[in-house]
């Protein structure tokens, strides 16, 4: 039976078809790797969100506009970026994230009710303290909205990003290991696929030889592609070589 590759895999498949027998494709960051696969649901670098906070009691919220912050907390005194406008920039949706829910416009999606596609040890439905977040980046396309939530961390914490995706009026939490909204790809019937990653080698996170990247559909079970990444330097998993299996 002839095997038909998923539409989003064409670019890297073409690249790897000429390199599988020779040198694999090399990358120095995961964003470039994911985008090379083609079929990205979200394009571009995303939009950085801001975190204003009320003075007393102190409550913080990540937003694309000050208007969203005022809708969340009806307070007079605030601290935060002085250049945060009352409305979101042109072409950017009115989005807020208070650690417990994603708000788009006036509609609220609680994190506690999200479909958790992250591995079992990762409690994707747990609240996230806004002040524990270092950077929050927004991607959007049509009615789909995605957040990269990078929490304040040390050590190997930079390998993990909470990815919250609103797609088809459902909220999802995606696997955090080398996760990013840039990795989400289009799938048939207005669906999406996402990477579920795991370390390769006996050392696992402590001394990883590489990474197995399984692209799954939103049911969390159907695999449509697998890639194998090799780390030339086990201490630097952000530089790697990739092949499709």
Q: What is the pLDDT of residues 59-101, one digit of tens each?
A: 999 999 999 999 999 888 999 888 899 999 999 999 999 999 9
- Residues in CB range of 226: below 8 A, 6 or more apart: 212, 213, 214, 215, 244, 245
Tell whether pTM > 0.85: yes
Look at residue 186 in the predicted model and tell me its pLDDT.
96
pLDDT of residue 176: 96
pLDDT value, residue 74: 86
SS percent in the chain: helix, strand, coil, step 5: 15, 40, 45
Q: Could you tell me whether strands 115-116 and 62-63 are parallel, antiparallel, or unpaired per DSSP bridges? A: unpaired
Contact 46, 91 (CB under 8 A): no
Handedness of CA 101, 219, 41, 18 (dihedral sign): positive
Which pLDDT score is estimated for 9? Answer: 47
pLDDT score at 212: 97
Distance separating alpha carbons of residues 193 and 243, to the nearest angstrom: 19
What is the C-alpha to C-alpha distance for residues 228 and 160, in angstroms, rounded to an integer?
19
Q: What is the pLDDT of residue 83?
A: 87
Percent of all residues in the chain with a pLDDT value above 90, rounded to a whole number? 78
pLDDT of residue 21: 47
Query: In 3-state terms, what secondary structure has residue 71?
Result: helix
Which residues in the chain land under pLDDT 70? 1-23
**pLDDT at 206 (0 to 100):** 84
pLDDT at position 8, please? 46
Using a 10 angstrom Cβ sphere, with 0-12 exposed, 13-18 middle and 19 or more buried, the burial of residue 106 is exposed
Q: Using an 8 Å Cβ cutoff, are 191 and 175 in contact?
A: no
Q: Could you list the beta-strand ranges (E) of 203-239.
A: 210-217, 223-230
Nearest-angstrom CA–CA distance, 127 and 105: 21
């Amino acid at each position: 039976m002839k095997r038909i590759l998923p539409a989003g895999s064409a670019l890297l498949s073409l690249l790897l078809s000429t390199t599988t027998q020779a040198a694999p494709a090399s990358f120095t960051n995961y964003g470039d790797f994911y985008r090379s696969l083609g079929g990205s649901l979200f394009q571009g670098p995303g939009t950085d969100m801001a975190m204003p906070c009320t003075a007393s009691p102190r409550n913080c919220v990540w937003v694309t506009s000050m208007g969203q912050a005022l809708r969340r907390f009806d307070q007079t005194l605030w601290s935060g970026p002085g250049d945060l406008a009352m409305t979101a920039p042109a072409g950017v949706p009115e989005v807020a994230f208070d650690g417990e829910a994603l708000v788009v416009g006036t509609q609220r999606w609680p994190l506690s009710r999200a479909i958790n596609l992250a591995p079992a040890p990762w409690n994707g439905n747990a609240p996230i303290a806004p002040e524990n977040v270092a950077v929050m980046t927004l991607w959007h396309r049509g009615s789909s909205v995605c957040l990269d939530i990078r929490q304040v961390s040390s050590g190997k914490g930079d390998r993990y990003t909470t990815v919250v995706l609103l797609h088809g009026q459902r909220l999802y939490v995606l696997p955090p290991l080398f996760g990013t909204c840039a990795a989400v790809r289009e799938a048939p019937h207005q669906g999406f696929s996402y990477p579920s990653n795991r370390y390769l080698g006996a050392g696992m996170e402590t001394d990883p030889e590489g990474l197995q990247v399984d692209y799954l559909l939103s049911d969390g079970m159907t695999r449509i592609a697998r890639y194998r990444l090799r780390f030339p330097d086990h201490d630097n998993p952000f530089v790697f070589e990739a092949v499709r299996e």
